[in-house]
Amino acid sequence: MSGCSMMAPNYSPSIESVQLLKDSGIAGAKVGRFDAKPEGSNVTGISLRGSTLQSPYGNSYSLYLAEAIKQELILAGKLNPDAGIEITGTLLKNDIDVSGISLASGDISARFMVRKDQAVLYDRIKSARSEWESSFAGAIAIPRGQQEYPRLVQRLLAALYADTDFLKALK
């Protein structure tokens, strides 16, 4: 598998996060620009033992994050492209490490902002970490790392939605 490229799975919304958004009483919001800090954020690809894991959304992990939020807002009935409230963000860290013999991990962090009519209502960095069983064998470790990426993003968004200040900014 050395030197090959593969796609990360499409984002799969978290039912718990969608329900939290539904029950939160937030107003509709739109999802604006998401970008990435160029250094250290694995903007276009994550190295998995010589293979490259790419984003299925415009080959950009910042777009992956924006798409994940859009999907969860849509399912919660809270996405409104005409809303005066806008969620934006910057991907700061984005990595999957499958180099271990028996344990692999993923780390992600992003700065999220909520604006209403150019006023910043929310500006915080959120992070998530995930660990799972891995293997010395690349044929096992690499696909597991690939499958864990959407779960890592789910954890990041769960941390964002658990922040009551984020939810207040969307009301």
Band (3; pLDDT cuts 50, 70, 90): low
The encoded tokens of residue 29 equal 């919001």
Q: Is residue 170 pLDDT above 90, yes or no?
A: yes
* pLDDT digits 0-9 by tens, 41-50: 666 688 888 8
pLDDT surpassing 60 at residue 2 = no
Phi and psi, residue 161, nearest 5°: -70, -25
CA distance 123 to 141: 36
Instruction: Judge contact between 55 and 61, C-beta under 8 A.
Output: yes
- Percent of the chain at pLDDT > 90 equals 78
Q: Which pLDDT band, with edges at 50, 70 and 90, does 1 fall under?
A: very low
Q: In what order do the strands lie in the sheet with 51-54?
A: 5-7, 51-54, 45-48
Per-residue pLDDT tens for 38-89? 766 666 688 888 889 999 999 999 999 999 999 999 999 999 999 999 999 9
Q: Place domain 5-169 in its CATH homologous superfamily.
A: ABC-type transport auxiliary lipoprotein component (3.40.50.10610)
Asked if 87 and 111 count as a contact pair (C-beta separation under 8 A), the reply is no
pLDDT tens, position by position, 120-130: 999 999 999 99
User: In the prediction, which pLDDT does 41 show?
Assistant: 60
Residues 6+ apart with CB under 8 A from 161: 17, 20, 21, 24, 167
